[in-house]
A = this chain, B = another copy of it.
């Protein structure tokens, strides 16, 4: 039996590269990125802020079932103009194309910065003992234009689920590091998401029975301050790593 097709937008970014390596055993992978990256017949160059480019790219992958939508400006301090076009506009374009071409489910890379203001300016929650957990039902408190853009992306995802039945799992991803080591920033002892926990979370998001949800993506860090109980119950997420084990 053929693997189901999964398109990763932003496949040449940090998270995209991790997923590309680890999801090929279960999915027939396609990629989209604004940068050309390594040449491949299955990776297409397109700018998600341009609807025609996105639709043209989707048209080249018949019977596409899943999308992992990671494309966009990943910088927390990105300008309004950039996140407006790339993150808000780009997310609407990807959902538009996905709905047009019959995609069943999108895993959307939202961000912990949707509620980043709970951590203070600059973030200090990680330095406090036993802070109350921030949970999915708490009101959004973006800390940046980037955080606003991800909140808008979650709203777009919700609309396409309500109106068209296009399923979405929105992941408020924590701190993923290139070297898979949380010790580069004291905050990451709370917010780190290891590569293998990321991969588990995305795989389970693609397969879960729940059809729409918003979840924090974080490892089982001793100092974690995001509530992952809904991810445990609804997705079966069982994170294996703990940033505190790296700290001496």
Contact = CB atoms under 8 A, between A and B. Distances in A.
Contacts of A103: none
A89 interface: yes
Interface stretch (A6-14, A20-28, A138-146): A138-146
A152 interface: yes
A151 B139 CA distance: 12
Nearest to A120: B162
A92 interface: yes
Given A148-B159, A151-B152, A156-B148, A92 B117 contact: no
Contacts of A155: 140, 142, 147-148, 151-152
How many copies of the shown chain assemble into the complex? 2
A159 B137 contact: no
B142 A159 contact: yes
A3 interface: no
Interface in A60-119: 80, 84, 88-89, 92, 96, 117
A84 B149 CA distance: 12
8 A-B pairs with least C-beta separation:
A117-B162, A152-B152, A151-B155, A148-B155, A142-B159, A148-B159, A142-B155, A148-B156
Interface of A: 80, 84, 88-89, 92, 96, 117, 121, 137, 139-145, 147-148, 151-152, 155-156, 158-159, 162-163, 214
